[in-house]
């Protein structure tokens, strides 16, 4: 639908003004600005092509190759092949000084001035005056990213998103020419965005070069390639220090796998990953913590994984990174040494970067918590303001602040925030909120990050908590048969209702007659099936509405048409079970459930009587087919002469002596109709 609005109509934005005095002008301004930007871009492109042709005409092939080799040497070949030609051309145009002492842009302006328009001359003048800037993002608005010049402290808002700037990361920066256009700035030519750590590295390079008593402008132009390289080169490649760490492994032959497995299963330090007849795997877990964040409604539970245990094929294997953990596990193994044969140890060496740490964390969180919160919790959880940082003379963040080295503490947090955002985007794509670094900044008294969702009001914390390593229930072969008869599978052995259903069954059916056992088994099977698909997590959530749905809907979806005796048995079990649950779990549903059953029981039994006329369960197969044929003949005799049998659920809106007026409940394509029914069966039908 297209909406046409006249100049004098009220503006659609709701301001109360006429369209001509409100958004019409704004739209014209936006359209005009877009046209201006497009034309300006085209003008820049045409002028760049003239500059390119001029430089190409001045360089022979050998001269260009000599300059390219110099470019590669001075950049330590850090520029990727894909970007190399662009940066090489950019250097030739704006930074390299030729034998005449002029930069490419200056040489072009001197020789081509007579061939350029006034607008082009003005643009060339602006380009020649541009100074390289080392900038870092310090804020983000709806329409721009605000950068700060690391050397002059000038504030430079750059439109975002734009052709030059189409991605964002907290605190990222670049070394580039920055062109002022009105009240905004644009990156001119080519540039690459880098991490806070690399931008700091480039800043140190500039300071190092300035110590040679050269003014800043000269350093930025003449050493553009060296500063560019420092802004993109991974610091680890500048000075790569490696260290070795040990992986400890224990192998034990088991004389009695069942005894050993049972012992380790009961250990409080073990959290079970998988535990069955063929494979048993668990983590050696300690240091339980809970992560709370104002951006999520649920807590996240975390713990440190010190080692991994696996038992399979009469062999136990344990691996860890700590000698202390290995010794602690061997002490545990001695508790069952009578069931253990040969024990061997081995030590493998792993080479990792000097600054790297191997830290294995187990995380538990609810289904409604975004998956990237695990990354946030783990990252923030590993930040200990008291832990020493090798890079900063082994001082902690708190010590850096106390010793007035605030800038270094701030830089470390910026790099961590940048890296966390990068990992979240790479792993999960777009995220709805960022990690919280402001709580840590508040603790240290540092300026808050503008890139943290929630700003100053954001709160998160990590506190110690009790172990939350509830283990799956182990069942004997005899118990497994009972679980299976009630419909339980291994993955549902530990639900909130499992033990209650089993206890109720054993209490009511143990030692009873065969028919009594069947009654409770079948009824509890149906109740378990309904609970399994309910999504509830505890008995407090299981209200009377759930039981009403089980009685009038789920029971029939599970069983299909049921006999009167089957219905009576099920209703009786439901009443007893809800009363039993109320007493055990302090809930209050049994009374309402019993009242509901007394209201609908007769209708359910009459319905069973009616269905039994057409589907007599205890008659022969031939008789069933005969009755079904009779039902088909009745349905075909509906007003309107339907050709096919109509299937579904129907509401009885009216009943007469020998017919029913029916309405389909879940099919909009079937209107109300009349069905004939034998007068002796009408008594079993109830109007809605």
pLDDT computed for residue 651 by the predictor: 77
Angle at 302 between CA 300 and CA 303, to 5 degrees: 165
170 and 309 share a domain? no
- What number is the average pLDDT over the span 354-367? 80
Asked if the model's pLDDT at residue 400 lies above 90, the reply is yes
549 and 667 share a domain? no
Q: Is 446 helix (H, G, I), strand (E, B) or coil?
A: coil
Q: Is 406 helix (H, G, I), strand (E, B) or coil?
A: helix
96 and 125 share a domain? yes
End residue of a domain, out of 409, 430, 464: 464
End residue of a domain, out of 615, 635, 655: 615
- What number is the average pLDDT over the span 649-670? 74
Higher-pLDDT residue of 124 and 356 is: 124
Q: How far apart are CA 337 and CA 350, in angstroms?
A: 31
110 and 202 share a domain? yes
| Confidence band for 654, pLDDT divided at 50, 70 and 90 | confident
Over residues 100-130, the pLDDT tens digits come to: 999 999 999 999 988 999 989 999 999 999 9
Over residues 608-651, the pLDDT tens digits come to: 777 766 655 433 344 444 454 555 555 545 444 445 567 777 77
83 and 156 share a domain? yes
Evaluate whether 251 touches 265 at the Cβ level (below 8 Å): no
Angle at 53 between CA 52 and CA 56, to 5 degrees: 85
DSSP state of 426: H
Domain residue limits at 494:
477-615
Could you give the dihedral angle defined by the CA atoms of residues 128, 134, 137 and 142, in that order, rounded to the nearest 10 degrees?
A: 0
In a domain, 632, yes or no: no
172 and 265 share a domain? no
Say how many C-beta atoms besides its own lie within 10 A of residue 326's C-beta. 22
Q: Is 490 helix (H, G, I), strand (E, B) or coil?
A: helix
Residues 359, 362, 367, 368: is their CA dihedral positive or negative?
A: negative
Q: How far apart are CA 25 and CA 31, in angstroms?
A: 10
In a domain, 158, yes or no: yes
DSSP state of 185: E
508 and 598 share a domain? yes
In a domain, 439, yes or no: yes
Strands 673-676, 132-140: parallel, antiparallel or unpaired by DSSP?
A: unpaired
| Confidence band for 338, pLDDT divided at 50, 70 and 90 | very high
Concatenated DSSP letters of 90-149: HHHHHT-B-TTS-BHHHHHHHHHGGGS-HHHHHHHHHHHH--EEEEEEEEE-SSEEEEEE
296 and 204 share a domain? no
pLDDT computed for residue 674 by the predictor: 80
End residue of a domain, out of 353, 388, 415: 353
Q: Is 461 helix (H, G, I), strand (E, B) or coil?
A: strand
Q: Per DSSP, which regions of 321-473 are E strands? A: 340-353, 361-364, 388-389, 395-396, 460-464
Angle separating helix axes 196-210 and 224-232, nearest 10 degrees = 150
Contacts for 480 with CB less than 8 Å, ≥ 6 apart: none
Candidate from 312-321, 381-390, 420-429, 546-555 with smallest mean pLDDT: 381-390
481 and 610 share a domain? yes
- What number is the average pLDDT over the span 166-185? 92
Q: How far apart are CA 349 and CA 270, in angstroms?
A: 26
pLDDT computed for residue 259 by the predictor: 92
Number of domains in the chain: 5
Asked if the model's pLDDT at residue 279 lies above 70, the reply is yes
* 198 beta partners: none
Share of the chain above pLDDT 90, in %: 54
In a domain, 7, yes or no: no
In a domain, 637, yes or no: no
256 and 227 share a domain? no
Contacts for 411 with CB less than 8 Å, ≥ 6 apart: 196, 197, 200
Evaluate whether 341 touches 253 at the Cβ level (below 8 Å): yes
Higher-pLDDT residue of 441 and 266 is: 441
490 and 558 share a domain? yes
pLDDT computed for residue 1 by the predictor: 33
pLDDT computed for residue 13 by the predictor: 59
- What number is the average pLDDT over the span 403-409? 95
pLDDT computed for residue 40 by the predictor: 67
> Max alpha carbon distance in the chain (Å)?
116
Q: How far apart are CA 413 and CA 485, in angstroms?
A: 57
In a domain, 620, yes or no: no
Q: How many helices (H) and strands (E) does the chain have?
A: 24, 18
Asked if the model's pLDDT at residue 244 lies above 90, the reply is no
Evaluate whether 27 touches 13 at the Cβ level (below 8 Å): no
pLDDT computed for residue 351 by the predictor: 84
286 and 330 share a domain? yes
Q: Which long-range contacts (CB under 8 A, 24 or more apart) does 329-337 make?
A: 329/250, 329/284, 330/250, 332/264, 332/267, 333/250, 333/252, 335/263, 336/259, 336/260, 336/263
Q: 3-state SS string over 255-317?
A: CCHHHHHHHHHHCCCEEEEEECCCCEEEEEEEEEEEEEECCCCCCEEEEEEEEEEEEECCEEE
Angle at 259 between CA 253 and CA 264, to 5 degrees: 85
Angle separating helix axes 590-614 and 621-636, nearest 10 degrees = 90
Over residues 530-571, the pLDDT tens digits come to: 999 988 889 999 999 999 999 988 998 888 888 889 999 999
Share of the chain above pLDDT 70, in %: 86
In a domain, 625, yes or no: no
Asked if the model's pLDDT at residue 312 lies above 80, the reply is yes
In a domain, 661, yes or no: yes
């Amino acid at each position: 639908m297209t909406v046409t609005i006249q100049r004098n109509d009220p503006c659609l934005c709701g301001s109360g003004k006429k369209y001509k005095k409100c958004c019409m002008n704004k739209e014209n301004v936006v359209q005009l600005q877009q046209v201006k930007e497009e034309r300006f871009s085209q003008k820049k492109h045409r002028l760049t092509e003239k500059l390119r042709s001029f430089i190409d005409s001045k360089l022979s092939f050998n001269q260009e190759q000599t300059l390219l080799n110099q470019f590669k040497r001075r950049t330590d070949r850090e520029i990727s092949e894909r970007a190399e030609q662009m940066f090489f051309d950019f250097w030739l145009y704006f930074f390299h000084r030729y034998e005449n002492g002029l930069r490419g842009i200056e040489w072009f302006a001197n020789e081509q001035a007579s061939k350029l328009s006034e607008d082009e001359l003005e643009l060339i003048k602006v380009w020649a005056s541009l100074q390289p800037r080392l900038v870092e993002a310090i804020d983000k608005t709806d329409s721009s990213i605000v950068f700060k010049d690391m050397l002059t402290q000038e504030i430079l808002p750059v439109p975002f998103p734009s052709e030059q700037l189409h991605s964002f990361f907290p605190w990222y920066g670049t070394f580039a020419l920055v062109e002022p256009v009105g009240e905004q700035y644009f990156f001119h030519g080519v540039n690459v965005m880098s991490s806070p750590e690399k931008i700091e590295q480039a800043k140190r390079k500039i300071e190092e070069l300035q110590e040679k008593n050269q003014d800043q402008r000269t350093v930025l132009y003449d050493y553009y390639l060296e500063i560019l390289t420092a802004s993109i080169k991974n610091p680890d490649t500048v000075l790569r220090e490696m260290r070795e760490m040990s992986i400890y492994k224990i192998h034990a032959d088991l004389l009695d796998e069942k005894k050993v497995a049972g012992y380790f299963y009961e250990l409080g330090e073990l959290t079970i990953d998988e535990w069955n007849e063929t494979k048993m795997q668990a983590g050696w877990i300690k240091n339980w913590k809970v992560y709370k964040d104002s951006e999520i409604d649920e807590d996240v539970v975390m713990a440190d994984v010190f080692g991994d245990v696996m038992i399979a094929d009469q062999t136990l294997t344990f691996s860890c990174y700590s000698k202390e953990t290995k010794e602690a596990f061997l002490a545990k193994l001695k508790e069952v040494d009578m069931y253990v044969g040969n024990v061997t140890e081995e030590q493998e060496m792993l080479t990792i970067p000097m600054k790297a740490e191997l830290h294995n964390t187990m995380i538990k969180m609810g289904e409604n918590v975004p998956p990237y919160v695990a990354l946030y919790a783990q990252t923030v959880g590993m930040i200990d303001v008291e832990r020493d940082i090798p890079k900063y003379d082994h001082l902690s963040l708190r010590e850096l602040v106390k010793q007035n080295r605030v800038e270094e503490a701030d830089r470390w947090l910026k790099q961590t925030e940048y890296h966390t955002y990068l990992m979240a985007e790479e792993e999960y794509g777009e995220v709805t909120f960022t990690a919280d670094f402001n709580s840590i900044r508040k603790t240290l008294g540092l300026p808050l990050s503008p890139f943290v969702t929630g700003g100053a009001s954001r709160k998160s914390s990590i506190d110690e908590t009790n172990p939350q390593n509830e283990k799956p229930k182990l069942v004997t072969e005899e118990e497994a048969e009972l679980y299976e008869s009630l419909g339980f599978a291994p993955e549902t052995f530990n639900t909130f209702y499992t033990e209650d259903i089993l206890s109720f069954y054993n209490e009511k059916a143990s030692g009873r007659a065969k028919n009594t056992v069947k009654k409770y088994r079948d009824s509890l099977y149906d109740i378990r099936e309904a609970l399994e698909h309910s999504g509830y997590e505890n008995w407090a959530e299981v209200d009377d509405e759930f039981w009403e749905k089980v009685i009038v809907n789920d029971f029939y979806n599970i069983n299909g048409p049921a006999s009167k005796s089957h219905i009576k048995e099920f209703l009786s079990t439901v009443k007893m079970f809800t009363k039993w649950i109320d007493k055990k779990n302090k809930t209050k549903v049994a009374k309402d459930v019993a009242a509901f059953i007394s209201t609908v029981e007769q209708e359910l039994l009459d319905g069973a009587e009616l269905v039994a006329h057409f589907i007599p369960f205890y008659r022969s197969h031939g008789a069933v087919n005969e009755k079904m044929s009779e039902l088909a003949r009745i349905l075909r005799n509906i007003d309107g002469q339907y050709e096919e049998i109509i299937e579904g659920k129907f509401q009885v809106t009216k009943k007469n002596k020998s017919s029913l007026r029916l309405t389909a409940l879940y099919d909009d394509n079937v209107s109300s109709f009349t069905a004939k029914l034998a007068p002796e069966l009408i008594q079993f039908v109830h109007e809605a």
